[in-house]
Structure 1
Amino acid sequence: MKTSFLFPPKLKYLGALLAIPGFVLGYFVVYRNYEIPGFEIRLRAKSSIFLSAMENFTNELALTLVIIGLLLVAFSRVKKEDELTAKMRLNALYWAILVNYILYAFIIVITLLGSLLKDPPISAIIDDLTKNFDFYIYNLFTPLLIFTGRFYFLLLRNKNDFDLKPVLFLPNKPYRFLGKWISAIMVAAAIASFAFKWNDVGYDAVFILPFSLLLWVYSREKEEDEFISSTRLEAMQIAVYVNYAILLLSNFFVFGVDFLGVQLVNLVTIPLIFLIWFNFKVYRISREAEIKSI
């Protein structure tokens, strides 16, 4: 298995120098409402209910520092890049995405409990956990944070070993079939609901879609071999890079309530981009093999 699309080793130190002040600045922005004086630009002729005429870019700067810094730390080459480190990267990416969506599922469940339960003390605790869309803020960088922690943990734990337990995927049947068709139904429901103004149905479909995509992503191919593992790693890295490129662009060009929409879409972009790239690569290689066999 070969790891591609990595940064030079020394850039991980630059990444740490960017990410740490980014986290500190982000803390003051989110929890202390801090804004860098004079760091604003007039973007609109006048203010509206949800958008100010002057836009301060302190929060955009904090998020940019965190994301670019974590990307450099996470995807810089280590001194010895080989098949074992490639397996570690696949393992870490696997767990980063999975744990992030487990947290997402937890937030959905306790939010539903909060709407169903009428007990004031319990409702107050749930409100504290879900207030201010905190999860959607954390979701912007938690996959990178979990990946980095898991990858360097595996490096330390296995530095004298030459083997790593393979990643466990769901059986091909029925999970791959279920993932494909539930995802198709959710996408169709979301498009139809927004077209016909059935907003509640559309939002429900968008909330469910990440889990159906994960069934597809984490189900085995009919034949799992070294090529499939390498393609999985490449596709997941591409998905992460494209996802964060889109997010960084949106960070500077989408504001207010519209950025909440970006955060919602951000829940599905990594598995969706992975599936597109992975299936394209597998199809292309299989077609090339068929042509050579003729």
Structure 2
Amino acid sequence: MSCSSSISMEIADKETSQDNIEQVELLSGVYDHYDGVIVEMKEAMDPKEFGSLLRASLSQWKQLGKRGIWIKLPIELANLIEVVVKEGFDFHHAERNYLMLVRWIAETTNSLPANASHRVGIGAFVMNSNRELLVVQELSGIFRGSGVWKLPTGVVNEGEDICEAAIRELKEETGVDAEFVEVLAFRQSHASYFTKSDLFFVCMLQPCSFDIQKQASEIEAAKWMPIEEYADQPFVKENSGFDYVAKICLAKANDSYIGFSAKPAYSASGKRTYIYSKLEI
């Protein structure tokens, strides 16, 4: 929904049957790159007045050949949600402080992008010079009370790179500082988090400190464990996904595996990003 140009749509000219020009007040918004309009509501408004403006705006945008109409409502303006829904809008996505609604007004097939389909997570493979892995036992979740030692894991935050998330999560859960080395592997699963799919990246980090200070709110225990002992845990050996990751970690520990290192790059829009690759440039 990147925007190509701002538009002031507060007033539009409308021809009357007597060829006079009548000024019609419309909602303010911006055009996007896909013949759409994005309206971001910021000021409180009477629902009836808002409904009238919305209907007039939809009529004008349809005449202009616009297609997808996006309306962003902050939580403070939740009283306007019913008005928008009654005009044929659907929920698209919600964040902590706003709701995004959308409607396709063109006669063509709806080509609006769906809401984000994946959550992204990381697992941190951290090994010291004694071939010991940094592992944890969790206070909550499916592993609570199981006695299973696992890699530190976490979710990538919005706007955060995978390599940075791995460093942050490791620090938060164990207190250990580390540097990102490479992505060893990743897996995709489905219907794992409120019907969303999940991408999980196993990242190798080089420890810069070794004293453990576990996160009291989430981690029951943390320690350095011989890598072979980690891989030989019954739970790991009985679950193919965990067993495969353990074998990858063992291969890396034995210098017989090469992962994907992070290469800084820039997108077409000039944003800094990373490409994960084996290619040395």
TM-score, normalised via structure 2 length: 0.18
Structure number with the bigger relative contact order (C-alpha 8 A, sep ≥ 6) is 1
Q: 1 or 2, which has the higher helix percentage?
A: 1
Q: 1 or 2, which has the higher strand percentage?
A: 2
Q: Which has the larger radius of gyration?
A: 2
